[in-house]
Amino acid sequence: MGDGGDAGRGVRLVLLGAPGSGKGTQAARLAAWGDVPNISTGEMLRQAVGEGSELGRRVRDIMAAGELVDDATMADVVRERLAAPDAAQGFVLDGFPRTLAQVTELDSILEAAGRGLDAVVAIEVPEAVLTQRMLDRKRQDGRDDDKREVIEERLRVYRSKTEPLAEHYRRRGLLRVVDGDREMDAVTESILRALAVEA
């Protein structure tokens, strides 16, 4: 992927995209490109649920219903993760922020560390494609929030709570929009182009 070299080193990115948009895949690729940690709050929470930790027990039912975990909990999770040494040189955030309140939390976490975001990448995919992809994913890896009712709820939550973040970041000049209804490699290339040209 990409041109190798140090082009992405130290990058600080947020990925926005509906469930099923391919955001997780692209986040992992961008993190490898930038040699920075891929911070997926969904993965962190699923791990907590798997371990049966206090956090996991608190969020399990919320996740299974396709609802959002409260902003204060998420801010704590992300603050702690971004304070780890491996995030000092940069990061790709996948799944956070998801609400305008989380945007404010992220701003204050980064401000306290004297850092800012380089860009926010929004991956756009038509709704019918999203639903189909998530149903396929359920068949493959059996994620229990990929049931049809839960998928619909997650898309509803995304539209009402998370989609407004794109406009917010557009106004701040950080947004890069990419068409996600294509092969994964083509999407990755567009993202890298958008970052190189406009960042």
The residues that touch ligand AMP, with contacts defined as CB under 6 A, are 19, 41-42, 45, 62-63, 66-69, 74, 95-96, 98, 102, 145, 154
Element (H, E) at 42: helix 41-51
Closest residue to ligand AMP using C-beta atoms? 42
Among the options 138, 143, 147, 170, which is catalytic? 143
Q: CB of residue 115 vs ligand AMP: minimum separation in angstroms?
A: 19
* CB of 9 or CB of 110, closer to ligand AMP: 110
- Amino acid identity of 119? A
Q: CB of residue 67 vs ligand AMP: minimum separation in angstroms?
A: 6
Tokens representing 117 are 């975001």
Q: CB of residue 178 vs ligand AMP: minimum separation in angstroms?
A: 18
Give the E-state strand segments of 5-97 in sequence order.
12-17, 38-40, 91-94
The verdict on whether 137 is a catalytic residue reads yes
The verdict on whether 81 is a catalytic residue reads no
**What is the distance between the alpha carbons of residues 49 and 35, in angstroms, rounded to a whole number?**
28
The verdict on whether 159 is a catalytic residue reads no
* CB of 62 or CB of 88, closer to ligand AMP: 62
Contacts for 138 with CB less than 8 Å, ≥ 6 apart: 146, 147
* CB of 45 or CB of 121, closer to ligand AMP: 45
> Among positive and negative, which fits the CA dihedral 98, 100, 102, 103?
positive
* CB of 24 or CB of 34, closer to ligand AMP: 24
**What is the distance between the alpha carbons of residues 199 and 192, in angstroms, rounded to a whole number?**
10
For 69, which DSSP code?
A: P
Among the options 60, 137, 161, 170, which is catalytic? 137
Catalytic residues: 23, 98, 137, 143, 154
